[in-house]
Amino acid sequence: MNIAVMGYGVVGSGVAEVLKKNHASIVKKSMQESLELTRILDLRDFPGDENEALLTKDFKDILNDETIGIVVETMGGVHPAYEFVLDCLKAGKSVVTSNKELVAAKGNELLRVAEEKNVNFMFEASVGGGIPIIRPIISCLAANEIDEIAGILNGTTNFILTKMINDGMTFEDALKIAQELGYAERDPSADVEGKDACRKICILASLCFGKHVYPDSVYTEGITKIALADVEYAKAWGGVIKLIGRATRYGDGKISIMVSPAFIQNHSQLAGVDDVFNAILVRGDALGDVVFYGRGAGKLPTASAVVADVIDCARHTERRKFFGWEDSVEDYVVDYLDIKHPFFVRAKADKQAVAEHFGEVQYLEYEGAAADEMGFITAALTQREFDAKVAAAGLEVGSVIRVTDY
Protein backbone atom coordinates (compact mmCIF):
# COMPACT_ATOMS: atom_id res chain seq x y z
CA MET A 1 0.00 0.00 0.00
CA ASN A 2 1.22 3.50 -0.81
CA ILE A 3 0.97 6.71 1.18
CA ALA A 4 0.84 10.36 0.13
CA VAL A 5 1.52 13.45 2.23
CA MET A 6 -0.22 16.76 1.50
CA GLY A 7 1.76 19.66 2.99
CA TYR A 8 5.54 19.37 3.35
CA GLY A 9 6.01 21.78 6.25
CA VAL A 10 7.21 21.05 9.79
CA VAL A 11 4.83 18.14 10.45
CA GLY A 12 4.67 16.78 6.88
CA SER A 13 8.46 16.55 6.60
CA GLY A 14 8.50 14.98 10.09
CA VAL A 15 6.08 12.30 8.85
CA ALA A 16 8.37 11.55 5.89
CA GLU A 17 11.32 11.36 8.28
CA VAL A 18 9.63 8.97 10.73
CA LEU A 19 8.30 6.76 7.90
CA LYS A 20 11.84 6.45 6.57
CA LYS A 21 13.64 6.11 9.92
CA ASN A 22 11.40 3.36 11.29
CA HIS A 23 10.37 1.89 7.94
CA ALA A 24 10.88 -1.81 8.67
CA SER A 25 9.03 -1.84 12.00
CA ILE A 26 6.24 0.39 10.65
CA VAL A 27 5.63 -1.99 7.72
CA LYS A 28 5.60 -4.94 10.12
CA LYS A 29 3.13 -3.26 12.46
CA SER A 30 0.91 -2.19 9.56
CA MET A 31 0.37 -5.85 8.55
CA GLN A 32 0.81 -4.78 4.93
CA GLU A 33 3.40 -6.24 2.59
CA SER A 34 4.73 -2.75 1.96
CA LEU A 35 3.95 0.78 3.06
CA GLU A 36 5.72 3.36 0.93
CA LEU A 37 5.57 7.14 0.75
CA THR A 38 5.20 7.76 -2.98
CA ARG A 39 3.81 11.30 -3.34
CA ILE A 40 4.15 14.64 -1.54
CA LEU A 41 1.92 17.57 -2.44
CA ASP A 42 3.24 21.10 -1.87
CA LEU A 43 3.17 24.27 -3.92
CA ARG A 44 6.68 25.17 -2.84
CA ASP A 45 9.92 23.88 -4.36
CA PHE A 46 12.43 21.98 -2.24
CA PRO A 47 15.57 21.83 -4.38
CA GLY A 48 18.02 19.22 -3.15
CA ASP A 49 15.54 17.72 -0.66
CA GLU A 50 15.88 13.96 -0.29
CA ASN A 51 12.19 13.56 -1.27
CA GLU A 52 12.34 15.97 -4.20
CA ALA A 53 11.39 13.22 -6.69
CA LEU A 54 8.11 12.58 -4.85
CA LEU A 55 6.95 16.20 -4.92
CA THR A 56 4.00 17.35 -7.00
CA LYS A 57 2.00 20.56 -7.16
CA ASP A 58 -1.05 18.78 -8.62
CA PHE A 59 -3.55 17.25 -6.16
CA LYS A 60 -4.88 14.98 -8.92
CA ASP A 61 -1.57 13.07 -8.91
CA ILE A 62 -2.67 11.81 -5.49
CA LEU A 63 -6.41 11.60 -6.02
CA ASN A 64 -6.17 9.57 -9.25
CA ASP A 65 -3.40 7.25 -8.08
CA GLU A 66 -5.15 4.02 -7.13
CA THR A 67 -2.05 2.62 -5.44
CA ILE A 68 -2.33 5.36 -2.77
CA GLY A 69 -4.62 4.05 -0.03
CA ILE A 70 -3.75 6.45 2.80
CA VAL A 71 -3.37 10.22 2.52
CA VAL A 72 -1.78 12.31 5.27
CA GLU A 73 -3.02 15.90 5.42
CA THR A 74 -0.58 18.26 7.15
CA MET A 75 -1.36 21.42 5.16
CA GLY A 76 -3.20 23.27 7.92
CA GLY A 77 -6.14 25.65 7.49
CA VAL A 78 -9.64 24.69 6.40
CA HIS A 79 -9.37 25.45 2.67
CA PRO A 80 -8.32 23.74 0.47
CA ALA A 81 -7.55 21.00 3.01
CA TYR A 82 -11.29 20.31 3.43
CA GLU A 83 -11.94 19.90 -0.31
CA PHE A 84 -8.86 17.69 -0.76
CA VAL A 85 -9.71 15.48 2.23
CA LEU A 86 -13.33 15.16 1.14
CA ASP A 87 -12.27 14.12 -2.38
CA CYS A 88 -9.81 11.57 -1.00
CA LEU A 89 -12.43 10.02 1.30
CA LYS A 90 -14.98 9.90 -1.52
CA ALA A 91 -12.35 8.19 -3.69
CA GLY A 92 -12.08 5.45 -1.04
CA LYS A 93 -8.79 6.56 0.50
CA SER A 94 -8.30 6.75 4.27
CA VAL A 95 -7.13 10.12 5.55
CA VAL A 96 -4.95 10.99 8.55
CA THR A 97 -4.69 14.63 9.58
CA SER A 98 -2.93 16.74 12.18
CA ASN A 99 -5.09 19.70 11.20
CA LYS A 100 -7.13 20.79 14.23
CA GLU A 101 -8.70 23.69 12.38
CA LEU A 102 -10.14 21.27 9.83
CA VAL A 103 -11.39 18.73 12.40
CA ALA A 104 -12.92 21.45 14.61
CA ALA A 105 -14.73 22.96 11.62
CA LYS A 106 -15.70 19.84 9.64
CA GLY A 107 -15.00 16.77 11.79
CA ASN A 108 -18.55 15.39 11.99
CA GLU A 109 -19.08 15.72 8.24
CA LEU A 110 -15.75 14.11 7.31
CA LEU A 111 -16.34 11.24 9.75
CA ARG A 112 -19.77 10.67 8.20
CA VAL A 113 -18.32 10.54 4.67
CA ALA A 114 -15.59 8.17 5.88
CA GLU A 115 -18.29 5.91 7.31
CA GLU A 116 -20.29 5.98 4.06
CA LYS A 117 -17.18 5.03 2.10
CA ASN A 118 -15.98 2.48 4.66
CA VAL A 119 -12.60 4.18 5.05
CA ASN A 120 -10.92 5.79 8.05
CA PHE A 121 -10.58 9.44 8.98
CA MET A 122 -8.14 9.79 11.88
CA PHE A 123 -6.76 12.80 13.71
CA GLU A 124 -4.79 11.75 16.81
CA ALA A 125 -2.17 14.46 16.12
CA SER A 126 -4.76 17.23 16.01
CA VAL A 127 -4.90 17.44 19.84
CA GLY A 128 -1.91 17.32 22.16
CA GLY A 129 0.73 16.79 19.44
CA GLY A 130 2.40 13.48 20.25
CA ILE A 131 0.24 12.69 23.30
CA PRO A 132 -2.15 9.77 22.78
CA ILE A 133 -5.56 11.25 23.67
CA ILE A 134 -8.10 10.61 20.88
CA ARG A 135 -7.55 6.86 20.81
CA PRO A 136 -7.56 6.50 24.64
CA ILE A 137 -10.87 8.41 24.81
CA ILE A 138 -12.43 6.20 22.12
CA SER A 139 -11.00 2.90 23.36
CA CYS A 140 -9.52 2.83 26.86
CA LEU A 141 -12.07 5.12 28.50
CA ALA A 142 -15.05 3.70 26.61
CA ALA A 143 -16.60 2.28 29.80
CA ASN A 144 -16.83 5.75 31.38
CA GLU A 145 -19.29 8.59 31.06
CA ILE A 146 -17.01 11.61 30.72
CA ASP A 147 -18.40 14.76 32.29
CA GLU A 148 -15.39 17.00 32.24
CA ILE A 149 -12.24 17.52 30.25
CA ALA A 150 -9.65 20.24 30.77
CA GLY A 151 -6.14 20.85 29.70
CA ILE A 152 -3.12 22.78 28.65
CA LEU A 153 -3.62 22.37 24.94
CA ASN A 154 -1.19 24.78 23.33
CA GLY A 155 2.57 24.27 23.53
CA THR A 156 3.53 27.73 22.33
CA THR A 157 1.58 29.61 25.01
CA ASN A 158 2.68 27.18 27.70
CA PHE A 159 6.28 27.72 26.60
CA ILE A 160 5.81 31.51 26.75
CA LEU A 161 4.10 31.45 30.17
CA THR A 162 6.80 29.15 31.57
CA LYS A 163 9.53 31.53 30.39
CA MET A 164 7.65 34.48 31.92
CA ILE A 165 7.05 32.65 35.23
CA ASN A 166 10.45 30.99 35.69
CA ASP A 167 12.86 33.34 33.89
CA GLY A 168 11.04 36.70 33.89
CA MET A 169 11.45 36.69 30.08
CA THR A 170 9.32 39.06 28.02
CA PHE A 171 6.38 37.75 26.04
CA GLU A 172 7.95 38.79 22.71
CA ASP A 173 11.31 37.08 23.35
CA ALA A 174 9.66 33.84 24.43
CA LEU A 175 7.36 33.84 21.37
CA LYS A 176 10.35 34.30 19.08
CA ILE A 177 12.07 31.22 20.55
CA ALA A 178 8.86 29.17 20.24
CA GLN A 179 8.64 30.13 16.56
CA GLU A 180 12.27 29.19 15.96
CA LEU A 181 11.68 25.80 17.55
CA GLY A 182 8.76 25.11 15.19
CA TYR A 183 6.07 25.09 17.89
CA ALA A 184 4.03 28.08 16.78
CA GLU A 185 1.32 28.18 14.12
CA ARG A 186 2.06 29.89 10.79
CA ASP A 187 0.07 32.78 12.21
CA PRO A 188 1.13 32.83 15.89
CA SER A 189 -1.92 34.91 16.83
CA ALA A 190 -3.81 31.58 16.66
CA ASP A 191 -1.61 30.43 19.55
CA VAL A 192 -1.45 33.55 21.71
CA GLU A 193 -5.11 34.52 21.21
CA GLY A 194 -6.25 31.04 22.28
CA LYS A 195 -7.77 29.99 18.94
CA ASP A 196 -5.57 26.92 18.59
CA ALA A 197 -6.50 25.72 22.11
CA CYS A 198 -10.13 26.48 21.27
CA ARG A 199 -10.07 24.19 18.22
CA LYS A 200 -8.55 21.42 20.33
CA ILE A 201 -11.07 21.64 23.20
CA CYS A 202 -13.83 21.66 20.55
CA ILE A 203 -12.52 18.37 19.14
CA LEU A 204 -12.27 16.84 22.62
CA ALA A 205 -15.73 18.04 23.66
CA SER A 206 -17.24 16.74 20.40
CA LEU A 207 -15.65 13.37 20.97
CA CYS A 208 -16.48 13.11 24.69
CA PHE A 209 -19.99 14.55 24.66
CA GLY A 210 -21.28 13.33 21.28
CA LYS A 211 -22.24 16.56 19.51
CA HIS A 212 -20.08 18.79 17.35
CA VAL A 213 -18.90 21.96 19.08
CA TYR A 214 -18.00 24.76 16.68
CA PRO A 215 -15.13 27.09 17.65
CA ASP A 216 -17.22 30.21 17.14
CA SER A 217 -19.59 29.08 19.93
CA VAL A 218 -16.73 29.01 22.46
CA TYR A 219 -15.68 32.00 24.58
CA THR A 220 -11.93 32.30 23.94
CA GLU A 221 -9.34 34.49 25.60
CA GLY A 222 -5.57 34.33 24.98
CA ILE A 223 -2.51 35.26 27.03
CA THR A 224 -1.56 38.58 25.45
CA LYS A 225 -2.87 40.60 28.40
CA ILE A 226 -1.08 38.64 31.12
CA ALA A 227 1.33 40.90 32.99
CA LEU A 228 4.24 39.90 35.22
CA ALA A 229 2.24 41.42 38.11
CA ASP A 230 -0.45 38.76 37.53
CA VAL A 231 2.21 36.04 37.61
CA GLU A 232 3.41 37.40 40.98
CA TYR A 233 -0.12 37.55 42.42
CA ALA A 234 -0.67 33.93 41.30
CA LYS A 235 2.51 32.94 43.15
CA ALA A 236 1.26 34.75 46.27
CA TRP A 237 -2.01 32.79 45.98
CA GLY A 238 -0.05 29.52 45.75
CA GLY A 239 -0.32 28.77 42.07
CA VAL A 240 0.54 29.54 38.48
CA ILE A 241 -1.22 30.95 35.44
CA LYS A 242 -1.91 28.53 32.59
CA LEU A 243 -3.95 28.80 29.41
CA ILE A 244 -6.70 26.25 29.99
CA GLY A 245 -9.31 24.83 27.63
CA ARG A 246 -12.15 23.19 29.53
CA ALA A 247 -15.53 21.64 28.82
CA THR A 248 -18.15 20.31 31.22
CA ARG A 249 -21.37 18.42 30.57
CA TYR A 250 -24.34 19.39 32.73
CA GLY A 251 -27.16 17.11 33.87
CA ASP A 252 -29.54 18.61 31.30
CA GLY A 253 -27.21 17.57 28.44
CA LYS A 254 -25.92 21.10 27.75
CA ILE A 255 -22.23 21.88 27.99
CA SER A 256 -20.10 24.75 29.18
CA ILE A 257 -16.86 25.28 27.28
CA MET A 258 -14.23 28.00 27.44
CA VAL A 259 -10.59 28.83 26.76
CA SER A 260 -8.92 31.36 29.02
CA PRO A 261 -5.90 31.94 31.24
CA ALA A 262 -6.60 30.51 34.67
CA PHE A 263 -5.11 30.40 38.16
CA ILE A 264 -4.11 26.78 38.87
CA GLN A 265 -3.12 25.67 42.38
CA ASN A 266 0.47 24.45 42.80
CA HIS A 267 -0.70 20.99 43.88
CA SER A 268 -2.75 20.50 40.70
CA GLN A 269 -1.49 17.95 38.20
CA LEU A 270 -1.64 20.70 35.58
CA ALA A 271 0.52 23.20 37.52
CA GLY A 272 3.87 21.50 36.88
CA VAL A 273 3.29 21.15 33.13
CA ASP A 274 5.97 23.43 31.69
CA ASP A 275 7.53 24.48 28.39
CA VAL A 276 6.05 22.93 25.25
CA PHE A 277 4.41 20.12 27.22
CA ASN A 278 0.64 19.69 27.18
CA ALA A 279 -1.54 17.86 29.68
CA ILE A 280 -5.16 16.83 29.36
CA LEU A 281 -7.26 15.88 32.36
CA VAL A 282 -10.25 13.65 31.68
CA ARG A 283 -12.81 13.03 34.43
CA GLY A 284 -14.56 9.68 33.96
CA ASP A 285 -17.37 8.44 36.22
CA ALA A 286 -15.77 5.02 36.74
CA LEU A 287 -12.06 5.87 36.57
CA GLY A 288 -12.02 9.32 38.19
CA ASP A 289 -9.37 11.75 36.96
CA VAL A 290 -6.73 10.69 34.47
CA VAL A 291 -4.09 13.02 33.03
CA PHE A 292 -2.38 12.57 29.66
CA TYR A 293 0.96 14.34 29.46
CA GLY A 294 3.65 14.81 26.82
CA ARG A 295 5.05 16.97 24.04
CA GLY A 296 2.17 18.97 22.63
CA ALA A 297 3.94 20.42 19.59
CA GLY A 298 7.01 20.00 17.45
CA LYS A 299 8.00 18.14 14.32
CA LEU A 300 8.71 14.58 15.44
CA PRO A 301 6.29 14.32 18.41
CA THR A 302 3.43 15.34 16.11
CA ALA A 303 4.70 13.08 13.31
CA SER A 304 4.74 10.23 15.82
CA ALA A 305 0.96 10.56 16.32
CA VAL A 306 0.33 10.91 12.57
CA VAL A 307 2.31 7.79 11.70
CA ALA A 308 0.53 5.81 14.45
CA ASP A 309 -2.75 6.69 12.71
CA VAL A 310 -1.28 5.67 9.34
CA ILE A 311 -0.41 2.26 10.80
CA ASP A 312 -3.92 1.98 12.28
CA CYS A 313 -5.47 2.82 8.90
CA ALA A 314 -3.28 0.24 7.19
CA ARG A 315 -4.41 -2.39 9.70
CA HIS A 316 -8.07 -1.53 9.17
CA THR A 317 -8.50 -1.53 5.43
CA GLU A 318 -11.35 -4.05 5.48
CA ARG A 319 -13.29 -2.77 8.48
CA ARG A 320 -13.03 0.86 9.43
CA LYS A 321 -12.75 2.01 13.05
CA PHE A 322 -16.18 3.27 13.99
CA PHE A 323 -16.48 6.51 15.89
CA GLY A 324 -18.05 9.87 15.29
CA TRP A 325 -20.48 12.39 16.68
CA GLU A 326 -23.68 14.22 15.73
CA ASP A 327 -24.00 17.77 14.52
CA SER A 328 -24.64 20.47 17.12
CA VAL A 329 -28.11 21.64 18.18
CA GLU A 330 -29.30 25.10 19.14
CA ASP A 331 -28.52 26.20 22.71
CA TYR A 332 -26.25 23.17 23.25
CA VAL A 333 -23.43 25.44 24.48
CA VAL A 334 -24.26 27.45 27.61
CA ASP A 335 -23.66 31.22 27.37
CA TYR A 336 -20.28 31.96 28.96
CA LEU A 337 -21.92 34.82 30.90
CA ASP A 338 -23.74 32.14 32.92
CA ILE A 339 -20.66 30.05 33.79
CA LYS A 340 -19.76 30.36 37.46
CA HIS A 341 -16.27 30.47 39.01
CA PRO A 342 -14.16 32.67 41.29
CA PHE A 343 -12.24 35.51 39.65
CA PHE A 344 -8.81 36.98 40.35
CA VAL A 345 -8.92 40.75 39.95
CA ARG A 346 -6.02 43.19 39.72
CA ALA A 347 -7.42 46.68 39.96
CA LYS A 348 -7.17 50.21 41.22
CA ALA A 349 -9.93 50.20 43.84
CA ASP A 350 -10.73 51.02 47.42
CA LYS A 351 -11.36 48.21 49.87
CA GLN A 352 -14.63 49.68 51.07
CA ALA A 353 -16.14 49.57 47.57
CA VAL A 354 -14.82 46.03 47.09
CA ALA A 355 -16.35 44.92 50.43
CA GLU A 356 -19.66 46.60 49.63
CA HIS A 357 -20.09 44.96 46.24
CA PHE A 358 -18.12 41.71 46.40
CA GLY A 359 -18.56 40.84 50.10
CA GLU A 360 -15.72 38.81 51.53
CA VAL A 361 -12.73 38.45 49.17
CA GLN A 362 -9.22 37.00 49.56
CA TYR A 363 -6.63 39.77 49.25
CA LEU A 364 -3.23 38.81 47.79
CA GLU A 365 0.03 40.60 48.38
CA TYR A 366 3.57 40.39 47.05
CA GLU A 367 6.68 42.46 47.57
CA GLY A 368 7.07 45.04 44.84
CA ALA A 369 3.37 45.28 43.94
CA ALA A 370 2.25 48.65 42.55
CA ALA A 371 1.16 50.83 45.48
CA ASP A 372 -2.03 51.98 43.78
CA GLU A 373 -3.19 48.48 42.78
CA MET A 374 -4.66 45.53 44.66
CA GLY A 375 -5.16 41.89 43.84
CA PHE A 376 -7.99 39.78 45.23
CA ILE A 377 -10.00 36.61 44.61
CA THR A 378 -13.79 36.78 44.61
CA ALA A 379 -16.33 34.14 45.60
CA ALA A 380 -17.74 32.03 42.75
CA LEU A 381 -19.82 34.28 40.49
CA THR A 382 -21.22 34.12 36.99
CA GLN A 383 -19.53 36.42 34.50
CA ARG A 384 -22.79 38.36 34.37
CA GLU A 385 -22.80 38.91 38.15
CA PHE A 386 -19.10 39.73 38.13
CA ASP A 387 -19.41 42.34 35.38
CA ALA A 388 -22.27 44.04 37.24
CA LYS A 389 -20.28 44.19 40.48
CA VAL A 390 -17.18 45.58 38.73
CA ALA A 391 -19.30 48.35 37.22
CA ALA A 392 -21.12 49.10 40.50
CA ALA A 393 -17.87 49.20 42.50
CA GLY A 394 -16.24 51.47 39.90
CA LEU A 395 -13.11 49.31 39.68
CA GLU A 396 -10.35 50.37 37.32
CA VAL A 397 -9.47 46.84 36.25
CA GLY A 398 -5.95 45.85 35.14
CA SER A 399 -6.56 42.10 34.86
CA VAL A 400 -9.29 39.53 35.39
CA ILE A 401 -8.29 35.84 35.46
CA ARG A 402 -10.56 32.89 36.26
CA VAL A 403 -9.70 30.60 39.16
CA THR A 404 -10.06 26.84 38.66
CA ASP A 405 -10.27 23.89 41.01
CA TYR A 406 -8.33 21.43 38.82
Positive or negative: CA dihedral 168, 157, 402, 225: positive
Binding segment (CB under 6 A) for ligand HSE, from list 49-57, 181-189, 235-243, 333-341 = 181-189
DSSP conformational letter for 326: B
Site for ligand HSE in 113-132 (CB under 6 A): 129
Q: Considering the rule CB under 6 A, would residue 184 count as an interface residue with ligand HSE?
A: yes
Q: Is residue 154 involved in binding ligand HSE (CB under 6 A)?
A: yes
Active site residues: 200
Secondary structure letter of residue 238 according to DSSP: T
DSSP H stretches of helix in 168-247: 171-180, 189-192, 195-209, 228-237
Query: How far apart, in whole angstroms, are the C-alpha atoms of residue 297 and residue 183?
Result: 5
Residue 303: HSE in the Cβ half-sphere, 13 Å Cα cutoff: 21
How far apart CA 22 and CA 146 sit, in angstroms, is 35
CA distance 291 to 83: 35
Min dist CB 149 to ligand HSE, Å, is 17
By CB under 6 A, is residue 304 in contact with ligand HSE? no
Binding segment (CB under 6 A) for ligand HSE, from list 66-74, 149-157, 318-326, 397-405: 149-157
Instruction: Supply the minimum distance, in Å, between the C-beta of residue 183 and ligand HSE.
Output: 5
Q: Which of 107, 151, 155, 239 binds ligand HSE (CB under 6 A)?
A: 155
Is there binding between residue 312 and ligand HSE (CB under 6 A)? no
| Rounded (5°) CA angle 220-400-185 | 35
Instruction: Name the residue nearer to ligand HSE (CB basis): 156 or 248.
Output: 156
Q: Are strands 219-220 and 255-265 parallel, antiparallel or unpaired?
A: parallel
196 counts as binding ligand HSE under rule CB under 6 A: yes
Considering the complex, state which of residue 114 and residue 178 has its C-beta at the smaller distance from ligand HSE.
178
Question: Binding of ligand HSE at residue 342 (CB under 6 A)?
Answer: no
Positions in the binding site for ligand HSE (CB under 6 A) = 129, 154-156, 183-185, 191, 196, 296-297
